[in-house]
Structure 1
Amino acid sequence: MPVPVANHVEKLPPASRERLVRAGIDLTNYPEWPPKPKSLTLAAKVREEERPHIERGKNADPEKKALLKAAKEVIHLSKHIGTEIVGLQLSQLTDQQKDELALLIAERTVVFFRDQDLTPQQQRDLGAYFGEVEVHPTAPRVPGLPGVSIIWPELARQERVGFRNPFGTQDWHTDLTHEKQPPGITHLHNDTIPSIGGDTYWASGYSAYDKLSPAFRAKIDGLQAVYRSAHVYKNPEDPDGPLVPIERVHPLVRTHPATGWKSLFVNRKYTLRIVGFEPAESKIILDYLFDVYERSLDIQVRFKWTPGTSALWDNRISIHAAVFDYEGHEPRHGTRVSSLAEVPYFDPQSKSRREALGLDKPEDFLPKKEIIY
């Protein structure tokens, strides 16, 4: 982790500064850095106790009339994932519309809103409606607003950042899978973006699972895997040893409580191994699942940001990656709020998305003939 600079306020992009000042944020010491836990034991105890969670989309109107009829336009960006809502302000949604938005995110994985007038305080309030706001123990945050993390590559700038030195967020990943209750809905609002580049990819965990044959699904349903934290800590049991991450066990396939659909819950960056398997066996299975998730272009969406855009996605059913093709030559700045969800679970009675929607056909699973060119 780079050594934090005490104050970057002089480098704030104009649009970002204007948004923060308008919201009454004290920029005297921007950003605010929380004290990092000094040991693995302390870090693991940050959110060890189970928290109650209300799944807002579970009882929402399936037709989402209050939300969708109020919009000027609803644009589905691809067949399996990604929807843009035009003409609504997130800061003005009613509770009914918020519930329907939660269901829409659960179904479409990621939903976008451009031209938002959202303050960091309003962003945090919306996140708190969807679940307990995650207060990151190490991430830079907006002063006075624990839970509103700052996403600003300038804070991680090294001596040489460019084409051959991409940030780790350019790798496919899911946020905070080591948590006891990993995030459900995450909301990133970008107030400053590069003129070219800086897009973000998302991929659908529902559709990644649907890519698997029924026989293969049956093999992995109910399995558990070990997930690691991005940050590493000193181990009190081995004070002279290497720094180690937090590890947590979750289902390899999880059921979404609002849709009842099964989703692949793996990511190459933070999923370490499958419980009960030999290392070589685990690696073969995980590498295949990673490849299906990352390489299936038809289950992905690439989004081009504009200033003042919000993206709300469900971490339980997706992986994402930020594209660092602008190489740090232009600023990119935003704020992120993640809402913690339920303890991950697998319901054997749940169905895949395609099964639930009646989209699977018997011929989809017939062996393919090899074509030799």
Structure 2
Amino acid sequence: MIAPDPEVPKLIYSPMKYSGSLDHLSYIDVTPIIGREYTHAKISDILSASNSSTQLRDLAVIISERGVVFFREDQRDLSVEELKRFTDEVGRLSGRPSENGLHVHPLFRDPGNVRMGNGEVDENIYVINSEAAKKLYKTMPGRTTSQPKDLPREWHSDATFEECPSDFSCLLMEETPPAGGDTLWCSGYEIYDRISPPMREFLDGLTATCAQPVFKSAATAGNYEIMSPRGSPLNVGDKFAPSHPVVRTNRQTGWKSIFAGVGLHVTRINGLYDYEEKMIRDYIMRLITVNHDCIARMHWTKGAAAIWNNSCVWHAATPDTHLVPGAVRTGIRASSIGEKPYLDPASTSRREALGITN
């Protein structure tokens, strides 16, 4: 008697499939591993298309597979409401929890926040501005130091300090310096694939605490209340210390990615001795810095935009604009809030799923 084939475990979320609705747009893939740039596409055209929902859903597939998508054409015709709708719809149409929406920054009430270029404020928009950041995060340890810059600490994924972090973030750059200010994205999929199978199995069982006490200390120092809720009924209060899996499954692709292994908000890998957890975090950071083919770099131009999937990439801004006299780098970012991070036992690595062996 022939034994029946063992039942293949099913993923919690079925992987999304691309339907071809964006095939009319010209693009280049930034590297073989990560990033895609649409050189002439306008986000406003996607929003106004007769099949807008289909295009936005397909875009969610591409972002989730490529990690980050760049729109090089000037997007400054996009209104704030359209930027919000664009980001919100990409998250909604890719299957995030129905009760979730756009993130609200915890420190929205801080007087150190700067207004958008139109002079207005919006609780769902975070204004990217290095001078404003110095004021907002002045209570963060290590902000004032004479030591050389520790650039590895710049790597992060958005809102990891929340129970439900961001899935998609979209940044539209309004003003750029004549040099510098680039942003880098690194593929958590590929970093996972470059780890040996026994080590992957070990990392699969770990979680990390992602504490960010600066929000509470900033609100206390400024004598104002932290915003709550923040894009999800689970993102409430002022604790900001959730535990997330070190290895996470991307709900859109079903692929595994290193998630809470490194980053600005990751404070400790749980359950390990101090030396062990530092060794693992240093090892993952080494993989990021040594394997530069896992990185896509965006040199910003005025009006360019980028949208990325935080569950499978980290990003880092290059803090070098202070070297350019009079440099200004400002942008506006909206972030959708996804599900509580999870590791699906049925998920595989990207290379395993695609049959890549080289």
For the aligned pair, the TM-score class normalised by the smaller chain equals 0.7 to 0.9
Residue 173 of structure 2: aligned partner: 190
- Quote the residue 1:82 is aligned against: 35
Please identify, of 148-157 and 250-259, the stretch whose mean Cα deviation from structure 2 is larger: 148-157
Secondary structure in 2 aligned to 1:66?
coil
Q: Deviations over 1:135-176 (max 9, x none)?
A: 102143643522011112232468xx9x98869897222222
Aligned counterpart in structure 2 of residue 155 of structure 1, from 132, 152, 162: 132
Mapped to 1, the partners of 2:319 and 2:256 lie a distance apart of 31
- Say which of 21, 24, 32 aligns to 1:70: 24
- 2:248 corresponds to: 254
Question: 2: CA distance between counterparts of 1:293 and 1:101?
Answer: 26
Contact map agreement 1:70 1:88 (CA 8 A) in 2 = no
Match of 1:279 among 274, 284, 296: 274
- Provide closer, same or farther for how the CA distance between residues 179 and 341 of structure 1 changes in structure 2, counting only shifts above 3 A: same
Pick from 164, 169, 181 the counterpart of residue 181 of structure 1. Answer: 164
Say yes or no: does 1:335 pair with 2:318.
Answer: no
Task: Flag the 1:157–1:268 CA change in 2: closer, same or farther, 3 A.
Answer: closer
Distance 1:168 1:338, change over 3 A: farther
For structure 2, list consecutive stretches of 5 or more residues without a partner in the other structure: 1-12, 47-51, 93-100, 136-143, 219-237
Q: Residue 145 of structure 1: SS of its match in structure 2?
A: coil
Work out which of the residue numbers 117, 131, 137 in structure 1 matches 2:106: 137
Q: CA deviation at 1:217?
A: 0.6
Letter matched to residue 268 of structure 1 = G
Aligned AA (1:104): I
State the 1:279 CA deviation: 2.0
CA contact (8 A) 1:172 1:269 kept: yes
Moved beyond 4 Å, runs of 4+:
163-170
Deviation at 1:204, TM superposition (A): 0.4
Q: Hey, what does 2:206 align to over in structure 1? A: 223
What's the counterpart of residue 303 of structure 1? 298
Asked whether the 8 Å contact 1:176–1:229 carries over to 2, the reply is: no
What's the CA shift for 1:109? Answer: 0.5
Distance in 1 (CA, whole Å) between partners of 2:247 and 2:312 is 10
Residue correspondence of structure 1 range 195-206 to structure 2 within 5 A? 195-206=178-189
Partner Cα distance (2:79, 2:105) in 1: 19
State yes or no: 1:124 paired with 2:124: no
Equivalent residue for 2:222?
Answer: none
Q: Aligned-pair RMSD on alpha carbons?
A: 2.8
Q: Which runs of 5 or more residues in structure 1 are unaligned?
A: 1-54, 236-243, 362-373
Task: Output the amino acid matched with 2:128.
Answer: I
> Helix, strand or coil for the counterpart of 1:246?
coil
SS in 2 for 1:316: coil
- For residue 280 of structure 1, report the CA deviation from its aligned partner: 2.1
TM-score (norm 2): 0.75
Q: CA deviation at 1:231?
A: 2.0
Q: Which residue of 1 aligns with 2:45?
A: 92
Sequence identity (%): 35
Conservation of the 8 A alpha-carbon contact between 2:153 and 2:263: no
